[in-house]
Amino acid sequence: NRRIVLNARPHGEPRQDDFRLETGDIPVPGDGEMLLRTLYLSLDPYMRGRMSEGPSYAEPVALNEVMVGGTVSRVEQSSHPRFAEGDLVVSYSGWQDYAVSDGSGLIRLDANIERPSTALGVLGMPGFTAYMGLLDIGRPKPGETVVVAAATGAVGSVVGQIAKLKECRVVAVAGGPEKCRIAVEELGFDACIDHYAEDFAEQLAAACAQGIDVYYENVGGKVFDAVLPLLNTKARVPLCGLIAHYNDTELPPGPDRLALLTKTILIKRLKVQGFIIFDDYASGYGEFASTMSDWVKAGKIQVREDIVEGLENAPQAFIGMLSGKNSGKLVVQVADE
């Protein structure tokens, strides 16, 4: 059994030697338990938070413990009454080949699921995040302008596509010309602005001639800076993530713009709401899962995945995601289906 453990707490950007690959025995399930084989491991930005100590909404991973993570796993042995050998489940097995489970928290996948890895992306946690954040907090109306950051990523690509289904004008923000091409030509967004461009703020303003009604925030930093003056009165800002800050070790240098931010919230009567998907919306999962799987089957939502082969490549892929190397939902294929 190979497992990747947290070797050291990163300072700033994580490095390869903050992780360590260990090999040990395959665990043995007890009575009523089962042995799970990891087929796919999901890599997600929240894992950066788990690598650090300090106050957050979840406990950090302990040093020398296996990195946490959602997986699609196959039941290899079972004495659990509800799961049989061969079943596919979404589990929280972490960065390792095998895990033992007593069944709690597992979601069984339909045996006929076409692409099991999508249960970690569009049909799983990131898709659910996009769906609830946009529809419950953003509340987009036809004809409104929706701006979405990290627009070709796991969450952003789904946010923009749902906003198109709701008949909005979608202005994407992504890193580099190739991602912007994907955003417009493949995902069908109305425009895409490259946040690396020198005149990014001017280009964004030009693309949002009617202002911004919904800003789906995944990033923070200079993207939010450029969005703030363009927000319309009564705009909604689902505050989903701030990936531009996850490697920060201190507050960025001034000037201090807190007064500008609070004044804009007041005079424009903005609704800015943070959310943590399963803490805030667990009861909405069933509705999401059936709606999204219908949309995907009908070709209304496209699936974008970036699949990396081999558990040993997880640390590099994770580090790369924090600087935009992924395109679509980042998943590691750990074993053959």
Binding residues for ligand NDP (CB under 6 A): 44-46, 126, 129, 150, 152-156, 174-175, 179, 195, 218-219, 221, 223, 240-244, 275-277, 321-322, 324, 326, 330
Q: State the minimum distance, in angstroms, from the CB of residue 1 to ligand NDP.
A: 27
Q: State the minimum distance, in angstroms, from the CB of residue 23 to ligand NDP.
A: 29
Among residues 74, 93, 70, 92, the alpha carbon closest in space to that of 83 is found at 74
Q: State the minimum distance, in angstroms, from the CB of residue 19 to ligand NDP.
A: 19
- Cα 212 to Cα 143, 149, 208: the distances in Å are 11, 13, 6
Select 208 or 317, whichever has its Cβ closest to ligand NDP: 317
Q: State the minimum distance, in angstroms, from the CB of residue 140 to ligand NDP.
A: 18
Select 233 or 316, whichever has its Cβ closest to ligand NDP: 316
Q: State the minimum distance, in angstroms, from the CB of residue 234 to ligand NDP.
A: 23
C-alpha 162/C-alpha 179 separation (Å) is 19
Among residues 301, 253, 277, the alpha carbon closest in space to that of 46 is found at 277
C-alpha 143/C-alpha 268 separation (Å) is 20
Q: State the minimum distance, in angstroms, from the CB of residue 68 to ligand NDP.
A: 14
Select 34 or 159, whichever has its Cβ closest to ligand NDP: 159
Select 165 or 282, whichever has its Cβ closest to ligand NDP: 282
- In the numeric block, the tokens 């930093």 are attached to 221
Q: State the minimum distance, in angstroms, from the CB of residue 321 to ligand NDP.
A: 5
Residues β-bridged to residue 42: 331
Select 182 or 334, whichever has its Cβ closest to ligand NDP: 182
Q: State the minimum distance, in angstroms, from the CB of residue 223 to ligand NDP.
A: 6
- Specify burial of residue 118 (Cβ count, 10 A radius: 0-12, 13-18, 19+): buried
C-alpha 127/C-alpha 155 separation (Å) is 6
C-alpha 305/C-alpha 156 separation (Å) is 13
Q: State the minimum distance, in angstroms, from the CB of residue 222 to ligand NDP.
A: 7
Among residues 193, 194, 190, 202, the alpha carbon closest in space to that of 229 is found at 202
Select 29 or 156, whichever has its Cβ closest to ligand NDP: 156
Select 80 or 179, whichever has its Cβ closest to ligand NDP: 179
Select 10 or 29, whichever has its Cβ closest to ligand NDP: 10
Select 45 or 160, whichever has its Cβ closest to ligand NDP: 45
